[in-house]
Amino acid sequence: MAVEEGSGSSGLSLRAQAALALYRLTFALTGMAAAVAVPWLGAYSRRVKEGFFNYLGQVPRCNDQHVFWIHAVSMGESMVACGFAGGLQREFPDSRIVFTSTHPDVIAGARRRGLLAAYFPLDTQLSMQRAFERWHPAAVFVCETDFWPEFSTQCRRRQVPLFLVNGRISSKLADFYNSFAGLAELVFGAYTLLAVQGENDAGRLRSVGVESCRIKVLGNMKADLTVAPGSVDLAAVRNWLAGRKTVVFGSLHPGEFSLLQLVIRSQATSGRAVILAPRNPALAEEWRQTLSAAGVTSCRRSIGLEDSAVMILDTMGELAAVYALADVAFVGGSLTGDIGGHNPLEVIQQSVPLLMGPNCRNFSDLVEELRVAEAMLICSDAAAVEKSIDRVLADKNLAETMVANADKVLQANRGVLSATLQLVKDYLSVI
């Protein structure tokens, strides 16, 4: 339901109103400074070339009566978004799902699934107003963790229910909003419901001023969204493996690649197949050349699978399925202290022994469950990673026990999708 601009300002404290004014001014000045770079960026950036008009709020028009807007950023979050969208469509068959992201491959994937997809508009007053006027959403859903003051403000002022789905709040994000309480009120005060993965996330939300009655701890929805067998064609990868024991290093960052180079070389020279997945696929060629200089033969999945010791997985959307081919897998973003770890569920869903580094704050509740259940191994450094790989591959009983224990944790986390959908139905039925 549309509301006159400004009619909701009385619901904000003076501190929040001042934060909104300063945010709008800062964003406007930054935008004007960046405008001079648009022609250059348009020539080199796929995001700018494809999404320029979307950024200005000119998303494709949707004239359906009942529109649900879902927003997700990364490939992992889009998996949640698409699974949730399917459930939402079943519960509300007369609705139309529109989808936004900031990632070109995520948008392309959403379009293949039949969703009306666009790049997320710039968080300016004008861009967001245009997007909301073109879609008139009946409700808006943000998957996991992407928060914007103007976006929240438009939901508040138009009285559009705003839901956080499978929410994840990092300690860094909580520290930021604790330092800027006005922005925290703008962003989180607009949410009707914040469904989060764990108690740590709930505690961080409470620390920035969110009332407990608007927070629900449900678990991680990704436990309900296993990659379907056969959904990704991996015949060529299986042929490349040629029956070798397989070690997967998933979602590695540059610092981790540097730390693990000796481990990768050692595993490769021992006759094992190594699959290396950079978090940023654009790094694939640089990493291939680095390995070559160290005497390690490698190939890139996107170009062709040659006879080599290492395969660099530089395609999007295949890693979750590739984990199923592993005998042991290490999940990156966890060995250095500034990332917080990537999704361990993608490994345990494929019944594969899981290794991670010590820095797993993004999935701290789940990782603690797995650690206590002896369902994974935490590796303090590169040497510990190699020792753990060798230990798991040498001890079949250990590998089977880890997988069985992880499955128990996984089963305990099932049902989040249906619980989230039920909460959304309950809230929308009384709004």
- pLDDT tens digits along 180-218: 999 999 999 999 999 999 999 999 999 999 999 999 999
Using a cut of 0.95, tell me whether the model's pTM lies above it.
no
Domains 9-21+41-220+415-430 and 235-412 share a fold: yes
What span, in angstroms and rounded, lies between the C-alpha atoms of 46 and 26?
26
What span, in angstroms and rounded, lies between the C-alpha atoms of 84 and 194?
15
Domain map of the chain by residue range?
Answer: 9-21+41-220+415-430, 235-412
Write the CATH number of the domain with boundaries 9-21+41-220+415-430. 3.40.50.11720
CATH superfamily of 235-412: Glycogen Phosphorylase B; (3.40.50.2000)
pLDDT for 105: 85
- Give Cα separations from 298 to 340, 404, 413 (angstroms): 28, 33, 38
pLDDT for 257: 97
Segments of the chain scoring below 70 in pLDDT? 1-10, 32-44, 227-231, 430-431
pLDDT for 229: 62
pLDDT for 6: 40
pLDDT for 1: 37
Q: Which residues, in sequence order, are CB contacts of 121 under 8 Å at separation 6+?
A: 54, 55, 56, 57, 59, 100, 127, 128, 130, 131
Parallel, antiparallel, or unpaired: how do β-strands 354-356 and 310-312 relate? unpaired
- Give Cα separations from 367 to 11, 62, 360, 361, 373 (angstroms): 39, 41, 7, 9, 10
